[in-house]
Amino acid sequence: MPSGRVVPWISDPEFVSVARMVVGKRDLRRAEDLLRNWSVRVDRLPTGAEVTLHLLAATNAASGSTDSALVLSGAVTRFVNLLAQMAERRYGFCKLYEVAAAFHWPEWVVQVRNDLSHGGMPAADQMRRAAAFAMDWIRENYWRPELDRFQAAIDASKAEDRLASSVDYNNLHDLLDCHMYLKVYSMWGTGRIGEIRQLQDEVYARVDALWKDIEVVRKASKKRRNGTQR
């Protein structure tokens, strides 16, 4: 989407493609690869994308690890810390419990992070549960809203393109062009369209052609309306 900041995705459709993978919980290894590609294009990913990359990398790695708790611990810690830093910048929250309350995190998630920060290591089941919660949270609070926003912008752009290529749109431009020419010449004191020929043949030919096109469209539209009313 148009903005004043540099983004790591090549196009809006590329962002939408990754968002659909994350939201749909499919091709997550491919999503991880694409996010990793994004990470080398900019100094820092948007917080939502950065958190997701850590979580996907850890979750994918943990599936084949004998120590999944250790693999997941770093991603869970980053999830809490990165979002807490964002909340401090945006909302001025200084306490973790303020962040947890604002983001509707359960107390046990904060406790897991605190245990990790003080050298503890929760059980593997607890770490998997915390990682799953973090992934679900970022999916629903970052990716789904962004997917909806990007898709709406893409749909609006397509609708504009269809309008711009439509016959009615082009005819409207012809009508406005015709009006502009006639308005200018009327301001110069030209009373009849025929008088324009005496001044400038090229302009007269343009106005005459536009007017004939408008008349054809007007008659066709009238015919369609009459056919509909029958």
**156-161: average pLDDT:** 69
Q: Are residues 60 and 76 in the same domain?
A: yes
Q: Are residues 47 and 73 in the same domain?
A: yes
Question: Which range marks the domain in which residue 117 is found?
Answer: 12-164
Q: Give one word for 3, left, alpha or beta, with left for phi > 0 and alpha for psi -120 to 50.
A: beta
Asked whether the beta carbons of 12 and 156 are under 8 A apart, the reply is no
The answer to the question of residue 2 being in a domain is no
Asked whether the beta carbons of 207 and 181 are under 8 A apart, the reply is yes
Q: Which residue, 148, 164, 180, sits at the end of a domain?
A: 164
Q: Are residues 64 and 151 in the same domain?
A: yes
pLDDT at site 5: 75
Asked whether residue 147 carries a pLDDT value surpassing 80, the answer given is yes
Token pair 């001044």: residue: 199
pLDDT at site 75: 96
State the average pLDDT for the chain: 82
Asked whether the beta carbons of 213 and 174 are under 8 A apart, the reply is yes
More confident residue, 175 or 20: 20
Q: Which residue, 130, 164, 198, sits at the end of a domain?
A: 164
Task: Provide DSSP, 45-66.
Answer: --HHHHHHHHHHHHHHHHTT-S
Asked whether residue 198 carries a pLDDT value surpassing 60, the answer given is no
Q: Are residues 71 and 172 in the same domain?
A: no
- Distance, CA of 88 to CA of 99 (rounded, Å): 8
> What are phi and psi for residue 132, nearest 5 degrees?
-65, -40
pLDDT at site 84: 95
**179-206: average pLDDT:** 59
132-142 residue pLDDT tens: 999 999 999 99
Give me the percent of the chain exceeding a pLDDT of 70: 67
Q: Which residue, 108, 130, 164, sits at the end of a domain?
A: 164
Q: Are residues 113 and 208 in the same domain?
A: no
Q: Are residues 130 and 181 in the same domain?
A: no
38-55 residue pLDDT tens: 999 999 999 999 999 999
The answer to the question of residue 181 being in a domain is yes
pTM of the model: 0.68
Q: Are residues 159 and 179 in the same domain?
A: no
The answer to the question of residue 5 being in a domain is no
